[in-house]
Amino acid sequence: MVKYVGTPASGGLTLAKIKIVNRRIAGFKRVVLAPHREKALFNAAVILAKDEIKTLMEHASAQHQDILNFQVVMLDDEGLRNLILSQIEEQVGAARAVELAMEEYCDRMKNVGDEYLAQRASDIRDALTRVIDILDGRNRERFVLTEPCIIVADEILPSDLAVIDRKFAMGFITEGGSYHNHANIIARTTGTPSVCGVDSEILNPLNDGKMVAMDGYTGEVFVAPTEEITAIFHHKMSLEHRQSVKQQQLRDAVVRTAKGEEIAIYANCNDPKDIALAINNGAQGIGLVRSEILFMSTTYNLTLPSQIRFYTECIRAAKGHEITIRTFDIGADKPLENLNLEKEPNPALGMRGVRLMYSQPQLFETQIEALLVSADRCGKINVMIPMVCVENDIADYFEMVERVKERLFKEGTISRDNICWGIMIETPSAALISEELAKYVNFFSIGTNDLTQYVLAADRINTNAARYYNPAHPAVVKLIEMTVASAEKYGLKVSVCGESAADFESAKIYIDKGVRCLSMAQNAMLAIKERLIDEFSAL
C-alpha cells in the first residue's frame, strides 16, 4: 500500500479501480517546419478542434454546452490567435507556440484573484490543449469508461466532463487543478469525491487498474489499500450514506440559536438553473448571484434585452424567496470581449468592481437600467456593489442610479423602484468606514474571500500562501464585528457570502459576532445546517 495526501476538493469516500490519464506523456520529437506551413497546420488544427467540441456539445448537458461553446468562441479570439501566430513567426513550432500562448493567457487570468475567471482559465487551457493534441497527433479519447473507476489524471478539464459517463466516475484524483476549477465545482455539486494536488508519482502507469481508497474530506489516497484500510472505508461509507439520508430530512428545518434567533441559510449561485436547484434543495434565499456570468455566457449577453431576460429569469427561479444580485465584479487583465481594459501590474488592487464605472459608465448604466426594469416587472430584489473602498465611489454610483431611474420614470419604462441596495464589505477600508457607508444602503454582505486575502496579504488562490489565509483570523473577525455593529446601529441586515460561511467553525464565530444570514455553495447547505442545529440544541 502507498499513501498520498492531497488537497480535499470535494467531500466523499469511495473505493474503486484506478484509471490513469496523463496528457503529459508525449513519446515523440517535434519537427518545426517553415512558418507558413506551421501556420497552416495551426489553422487546420483549430478547425478540427472546433468540430470536435461542437460534436461534444450535441450530447452535453446545458451547463456543459455553455462551457464548450465558450471554448469555440475562444479559439476564434483575435488576441489569442495573434499571440500564437507571432510566436510562429519567430520560428517556433505551432504546438509549442500554442503552449506558450496558453501559459501566458491562463497565468494572466489566474493571477487576477477572481475565482470565476480562474475557472475560465481552465476552459481556455482545455480548448488549447485539444489544439496541441491534434498538432502532436495524440489520442484525445481518454475518458471512455466501461466500469466504475476513480480517474487519476494530471488535470480534469471541462471537455473531459462532457464525455465522462457519470455512473462510472466514482471519484477524481489530480496532480494539478485547484479547488475552484470546473471539475471540482461539478464534483461538489454531484457529490463526487475529489482530491487535487497529489504527488505526480500517482500517475505511474503501473498504478492503472489497482484499487484505490480515497477520502475527499481529508485528501488521503491509499493505492492498493490493505484489508484493514478497506474495511475502515466500507464502514465509513456506510455511515456517510446514513448521514446523507438524515441531512435530507433537514431540508425545511430552520436553524435557531440557543436564544431562539433564526439563522438563515442562503445559496450562492451563477444563473437561473443554479437558483432553481438551490431553492428546491432548501435554500431560504439566494445571497449572491454573480452577474459577471454575462461576460462568459453563451445563453445571455451584455445587451439591455438580454440582461433583462437574465435578471427576470433569476428572480422567477427564486420563487418569491429573497434574491441578491451582485453588480459586475470584473477588472483589468481579463480577456473580456468588447472591454478595453488597460493591463495593470497588480489587478487585484487595481481598477475592478465599482471602480470600473469611471472608465466604463455605459456598461454600468445599462446594468442599472436592466436591474430596475427587471425588479419593476418581476418583484423586489437586492442589488449589492462589490469592491467598495471609499465613500465617494458609493456616492458617485448612486448618482448614476438616480440619473438612470429618473429617465426611466420619465419615459414610463418603470413605475416603481423595487430594488433594495447594499454593498459588499470585502476590503478592510469598507469595514473600517462601515458606519459611514451604512448611510447609503439597506444591507451589508461580507465577502470573506477577498476580505481575508486583503487583511492578511495572502492571495486566496496561491497555495504557497495558504497557511496565512484564515477567514477566522482575529483581524478578520474584528472587522466583521465592526461591520455588524455598524449595521445594527442603522438597522441594516448583514450576511456573510464568502466560502467560509460553509465552514462550521468560522460560521460559529460569525454567528457569535451577530451575523444572522450565511450564504454558501448549495451542496454545503444541509451539512452546515445539521451541524449548527446540533450545536445550538446542545447549549
User: What domains can be seen in the chain, in order of their start residue?
Assistant: 2-23+142-229 (3.50.30.10), 35-136 (1.10.274.10), 248-537 (3.20.20.60)
Alpha carbon 163 to its chain's center: 21
154 pLDDT more than 90: no
pLDDT band of 334, cuts 50, 70, 90: very low
At residue 74, the pLDDT reads 84
Cα–Cα distance for residue pair 307/289, rounded to 1 Å: 13
Q: What is the DSSP letter of 263?
A: E
- pLDDT score at 462: 66
319: left (phi over 0), alpha (psi -120 to 50) or beta: left
Pick from 49-53, 94-98, 139-143, 200-204: least confident: 139-143
> Can you spell out the DSSP letters for 478-519?
HHHHHHHHHHHHTT-EEEE-SGGGGSHHHHHHHHHTT--EEE
Work out the average pLDDT over 411-439: 96
Contact at 8 Å (CB) between 339 and 361? no
The values of phi and psi at residue 263, to 5°, are -110, 110
Report pLDDT for 335. 47
Helix H or strand E segment including 280 = helix 272-280
- Examine the pLDDT at 240 and tell me if it is beyond 90: no
pLDDT of residue 172: 92
pLDDT confidence of residue 292:
83
Phi, psi of 222 (to 5 degrees): -120, 110
Q: Are 195 and 172 in contact (CB under 8 A)?
A: yes
* Maximum distance among all Cα pairs of the chain, rounded to whole angstroms: 76
Q: Are 492 and 463 in contact (CB under 8 A)?
A: no
Kindly indicate the confidence band of residue 337, based on its pLDDT and cuts at 50, 70 and 90. Answer: low
Contact predicate 350/382, CB 8 Å: no
d(CA 9, CA 400): 41
pLDDT tens per residue across span 37-93: 888 899 999 999 998 888 877 766 655 676 788 888 888 888 888 889 998 998 889
pLDDT tens, position by position, 113-127: 555 556 677 788 888
300-328 pLDDT, tens digit each: 888 999 999 999 999 999 999 999 999 99
180: which residues sit within 8 A by CB, 6+ positions away?
115, 118, 119, 461
In the predicted structure, residue 342 carries a pLDDT above the cut 80: no
Q: Flag whether pLDDT at 436 surpasses 90.
A: yes
* Partner residues linked to 220 by β-bridges: 5, 215
Is pLDDT above 80 for 441?
yes
pLDDT band at residue 297 using 50, 70 and 90 as cut-offs:
low
* Total residues belonging to the chain: 539
Residue 521: the pLDDT is 84
* Rounded distance between C-alpha atoms, residue 69 and residue 345, angstroms: 31
459 or 475: whose pLDDT is higher? Answer: 475
CB within 8 Å of 387: residues ≥ 6 apart: 329, 352, 353, 354, 355, 424, 426, 427, 450
Asked if residue 410 has pLDDT above 70, the reply is yes
- How many CA atoms within 13 Å lie on the side-chain side of 441? 30
Percent of the chain topping pLDDT 70: 87
Nearest in space to 214 (alpha carbons), one of 4, 396, 65, 363: 4
Model confidence at 535: pLDDT above 70: yes
Catalytic residues: 182, 497
Give the pLDDT band of residue 169 (cuts 50, 70, 90). Answer: confident
Cell of 274: 443554479
Distances (CA, A) of 380 to 12, 416, 502: 38, 10, 27
Instruction: Output the pLDDT for position 333.
Output: 45
pLDDT at 27: 42
Checking phi first, is residue 321 left (phi over 0); if not, alpha (psi -120 to 50) or beta? beta
pLDDT grade for 164, boundaries at 50, 70 and 90: confident
Are β-strands 7-10 and 194-196 bridged in parallel, bridged antiparallel, or unpaired? antiparallel
496 DSSP β-pair partners: 446, 518
By the 8 A CB rule, do 308 and 368 touch?
no
Kindly report the average pLDDT of the chain as a whole number.
Answer: 86
